[in-house]
Amino acid sequence: MTRVILVLLASFGLVLAGAVAMILMHRRQLRQWRRQNRLVDQLSQITSVRRRVIPFPLPTRWLAVKSSNTTHLRAALSLRGPIVSWAEAMSRARERTLFLSQPVEGWTLLVGGALPDPTSDVDALYRFLVELSRETGEVQFFSLDRVLGFHGWARLRDGRVLRGYAWGGDVLWNEGRVTLDERLLGLRTMEYGEEAEPAMYGQIPFESTNSERVPLLARRWGIDLATATELLLQQEGVESDE
């Protein structure tokens, strides 16, 4: 009996040692990835993506759909109005409607005031994203408010939420595992009901840091709004302010 117990304890010890080794290896690999990406993931890189100054402010909410089938996307979104240029869409992005871009690098962007705001109705956003993803495949949502620090991001595929997070003073949505890209960018996410500790004097609140890094997450997942807008404006021959 004693021998059996010793064998079981030895087996448990081996399993535990293997698990600890895997955790340590994962942490070491994660640190290596962070070191390798520091030079390209600094906050200053947000503006360096744009080689020209875009002549209007970027929307605070947008969608990226991994599709180049504009006709199918317009049908899925029930868009009946005339197709406008991206320059016009960006200038009218606050209107209560939706504007679809031409495909850019395999992605199609969606902006407009009719895009659900997670701080107003996160359930409406959830339903909108799930339904659109069922029709189109991969859908990515991003939002940021640099004044209030509100922010959010979501990634869905075929109607399934891979990752969804939204902060609007407290956690509005937290679904799916934190992605490696979030970890690499140092994005701090909270659990439901978790209260954020106030920033110490001289510290930048995590809400502001997260908001600033949303475009970097978009770029890692696919394409960021600034880069896509610049490419689309170049295609349209729109002059940008230098």
Number of domains in the chain: 1
pLDDT of 26? 59
The mean predicted confidence, pLDDT, of the chain is: 84
CA atoms within 13 A on the CB side of 11: 6
Radius of gyration of the chain, Cα coordinates, nearest whole angstrom: 22
Cβ atoms of 81 and 227 closer than 8 Å: no
Tell me if 20 is assigned to some domain. no
Look up the domain containing 81 and give its range. Answer: 45-236
Give a yes or no: residue 129 inside a domain: yes
Does residue 13 sit within a domain?
A: no
Residue 114 in domain: yes
What is the arithmetic mean of pLDDT over 210-235?
A: 94
Question: Quick check: is 8 in a domain?
Answer: no
> Is residue 4 situated within a structural domain?
no
- For residue 82, tell me if it sits in a domain: yes
pLDDT over 90 (residue 183): yes
Whether 77 maps to a domain, the answer reads yes
Query: In this prediction, what percent of the chain has a pLDDT beyond 90?
Result: 63
pTM of the predicted model as reported, rounded to 2 decimal places: 0.77
Q: What is the mean pLDDT of residues 32-39?
A: 51
| Nearest-angstrom CA–CA distance, 165 and 211 | 12
